Every structure is written in structure tokens, then in C-alpha cells.
């Protein structure tokens, strides 16, 4: 079952269970899918596109949580955290920092990257190898530390 079909099924289940918070979050995901589909017309949306939409929503929630924490709005932090937890369930299992570091070292060695100017090519290759199971923010931090340390 694809991600879109899973979301639709979960929406129906949330309706039956009368879980309004979950239902609203899933409807927001479905809406984001439709918006992305409109942008991509006439091509249909691939499974990778669906995954990238969910990743984008997760990133937005994380940024919102940081801002709400800075503004000392715990009620909004709690609401965003609940949505974040729900959305992360639809993402593939995330790699640990050590696993990401190992891949970055392999890519740096294979591409011959020496300076921070080579970061783009390293980042692109690491993203291809991790296939969405690594947080790009962590990947970026590790690449910067490895390339600036040389």
C-alpha cells in the first residue's frame, strides 16, 4: 500500500474513532498532497514525491516548535509536537548520527572532496545513498565538520 493510500485509510479510521486531532493532521497531509499534485500536473505524483511532502511538513513542524519554545507558548508546542509525532510515523526509520557519519566519510573519500566548496556534490551523493532515511540538517552539519576540518 502506498503512502497516499495509507493516509486515506488512516483518515477513515480516525473518523470512525472520532480522533479529531489525528483527523485534522491527516487531512492537512492529504491537502498538501493535492497541492503538490497540482504543481506537478500533468504527471502523477510518485511515491518519492509523497515522501518529500511529508518530510517538508515534518521540517515545518520542527521549525514551528523551535519558534513556539522561544515565545514560551507551551500550548502550541504541544499541538505541533503531537502533529510531528504523527507525521514521523509515515517516514522511513531515521538513521543514527554514527550511520550518517560513516556514509559521509565514504562519500568524501570516493568523491575526493577537500573543501567546503565540494559540499554540494557530497550532499547530493549522501542523499542518494540514504534515500530519505537521514535528516538533511544532520547530514549538512556532518559534511561541514568533515570538510572544514581538512
Contacts of 132 (CB under 8 A, 6+ apart): 48, 51, 52, 55, 91, 92
The one-character DSSP state at 113 is -
Instruction: Indicate whether 104 and 84 sit together in one domain.
Output: no
Q: Which domain holds residue 20?
A: 3-88
**Where residue 76 sits, what CATH number does that domain have?**
1.10.1510.10
CATH code at position 131? 1.10.10.410
Residue given cell 568523491 in the structure block: 111
pLDDT the model gives residue 91: 87
- Residue 149, pLDDT score: 62
pTM value is: 0.76
- For residues 15 and 65, state if they share a domain: yes
* pLDDT at position 15 over 90: yes
List, for residues 55-92, the tens digit of each pLDDT value.
Answer: 899 999 999 999 999 999 999 999 999 999 999 999 88
Amino acid at each position: 500500500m502506498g503512502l497516499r493510500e495509507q493516509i486515506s485509510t488512516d483518515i477513515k479510521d480516525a473518523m470512525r474513532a472520532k480522533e479529531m486531532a489525528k483527523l485534522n493532521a491527516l487531512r492537512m497531509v492529504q491537502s498538501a498532497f493535492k497541492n503538490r499534485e497540482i504543481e506537478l500536473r500533468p504527471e502523477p505524483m510518485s511515491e518519492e514525491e509523497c515522501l518529500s511532502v511529508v518530510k517538508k511538513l515534518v521540517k515545518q513542524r520542527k521549525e514551528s516548535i523551535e519558534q513556539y519554545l522561544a515565545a514560551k507558548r507551551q500550548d502550541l508546542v504541544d499541538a505541533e509536537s503531537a502533529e510531528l509525532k504523527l507525521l514521523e510515523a509515515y517516514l522511513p526509520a531515521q538513521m543514527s548520527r554514527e550511520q550518517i557519519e560513516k556514509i559521509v566519510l565514504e562519500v568524501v573519500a570516493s568523491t575526493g572532496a577537500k573543501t567546503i566548496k565540494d559540499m554540494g556534490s557530497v550532499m547530493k551523493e549522501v542523499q542518494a545513498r540514504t534515500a530519505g532515511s537521514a535528516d538533511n540538517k544532520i547530514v549538512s552539519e556532518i559534511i561541514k565538520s568533515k570538510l572544514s576540518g581538512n
